[in-house]
A and B are shown apart, each in its own frame.
Chain A
């Protein structure tokens, strides 16, 4: 339950997962079947994060207006399954990368499922109040997550 344990887990994350996540940034969305998600093997559960951040990447890439508005590097730590993403809206460049960054303004921790709801239009404030979205660092950036929405 300690934050330190979460970090260790992420550091030793399956290299294959990261590779798949990066691949899905440019790939077509994979069709998730009910059968596949009902599978007993947890690692077989498809990560929605990859598809979501692929779309976000398109929205963010070169978006200087958004970069000006947010003006920060934001870390996303997605759980179940574990993936990590950096949304860099800090300056001239505006981009999305898989992985971890140091020196971030805020870190958002949420489940893959909660991320999907956020992208579908769920209210970040409600998710935060319910404990489904955790924020380390400046909470003000949690008010600026509109760019995640489809």
Chain B
């Protein structure tokens, strides 16, 4: 017997640039407090905590939740690269759904350094030891940031196959900034023109600087609970998880060699398929989406992997403005990773926070009209992909 999983509280800190944030545990505790207050419950009600972060020594989760209370509950620290935050959500959902707990905290935080992502432990096999040879074979290795080479390379592969204009990728950044200009939590809220995006320095063709997400500091949190718990606390019509799936790499990530598959296209496609099948709801009935726009190329590819548009149809979908207000779906109303920022551990929880606000009708100037079904997509190379569908009432 599977229990329905409700998201009764959410909260996030304003995302800021590296070097300007408070300590990780201060941000994490702030997000935690915001979520608890939003849920209207005391930390003492929380039975388990799943804490996501990528960069830090062991037990940073404890240091964070100890600021909320010393209740001796199980605390598990989790990472899955860029999908860390959603992985914390996935574990929390599993705990409620299975009946292991009635009320669980999912927390995600990251205090990042300036510059592109890099490895910390150079004395051992890199986690992407199976992925990198695919890239070396297809396109070699340059001085550009590795993540930009991977996703940019996938963009090249797509562009070759479909004849996509470079400006199509750039237009995604324009949308991201437009949406973020209405988000007080976003790192970048200055609007950019397409000319400005295209004129920014080339990082890895076809990606220019404004087409790459920035290193960011921040935290996000969510309180998940059972129906019984929600009822006991007088919470009516909560947002709930209609379906959730996590996938990792299939053989297709590595053979036959393709940059598009290497960066997780099939992980996304399969996770989405599982969610659509479980929920009985398809992409045509979703109004709002928060997906993993680490680079514009990944947003474009993800439209197709999630079935928001047909395969090969992304360029038309973009130029027809189907990915923003007035279109088929509003994609990344928060501004996404590109403009809101991407603190690795926090992103999944920030996506959840935005979607919960959207479904409740409290997303202020970013509110998507008649938001009834929301979809979250969070991707980490190495890898893992988590797709979550939310509904309300």
Query: Which A residues lie within 8 Å of B281 (CB)?
Result: none
A128 and chain B: residue at smallest CB distance: B160
The stretch of B198-206, B217-225, B282-290, B347-355 in contact with A is B198-206
Say yes or no for B4: interface residue by CB 8 A criterion: no
Rounded to whole Å, the gap between the CB of B208 and the closest CB of chain A is: 10
B163 and chain A: residue at smallest CB distance: A140
Query: Which B residues lie within 8 Å of A140 (CB)?
Result: 163
A139–B169 Cα gap in the complex (Å)?
14
Which residue of the partner chain, among A2, A129, A130, contacts B199 with CB atoms under 8 Å?
A: A2
A138–B153 Cα gap in the complex (Å)?
18
A139–B202 Cα gap in the complex (Å)?
18
Known: A139-B163, A139-B164. A2 touches B139 (CB 8 A): no
* A128 and B201 within 8 A (CB): no
B201 and chain A: residue at smallest CB distance: A1
Query: Which B residues lie within 8 Å of A136 (CB)?
Result: 166
* A129 and B166 within 8 A (CB): no
Say yes or no for B140: interface residue by CB 8 A criterion: yes
The number of residues on chain A lying at the interface, defined by a beta carbon within 8 Å of a beta carbon of chain B, is: 16
* A131 and B142 within 8 A (CB): yes
Query: Which B residues lie within 8 Å of A134 (CB)?
Result: 205
Query: Which B residues lie within 8 Å of A129 (CB)?
Result: 138-139, 153, 156-157, 160, 259
A139–B153 Cα gap in the complex (Å)?
15
Say yes or no for A125: interface residue by CB 8 A criterion: yes
Contact flags A111-150 to B (C-beta < 8 A → 1, else 0): 0000000000000010011110010111110100000000
A129-B153, A138-B163 known; 8 other A-B pairs, CB under 8 Å? A2-B202, A128-B156, A129-B139, A129-B160, A130-B139, A130-B140, A136-B166, A139-B164
Interface residues of B (CB under 8 A from A): 138-140, 142, 153, 156-157, 159-160, 163-166, 199, 201-202, 204-205, 259
28 A-B pairs with CB atoms under 8 Å apart are A1-B201, A1-B202, A2-B201, A2-B202, A3-B202, A4-B199, A128-B156, A129-B139, A129-B153, A129-B156, A129-B157, A129-B160, A129-B259, A130-B138, A130-B140, A131-B139, A131-B142, A131-B156, A131-B204, A131-B205, A134-B205, A136-B166, A137-B165, A138-B165, A139-B160, A139-B164, A140-B163, A142-B160
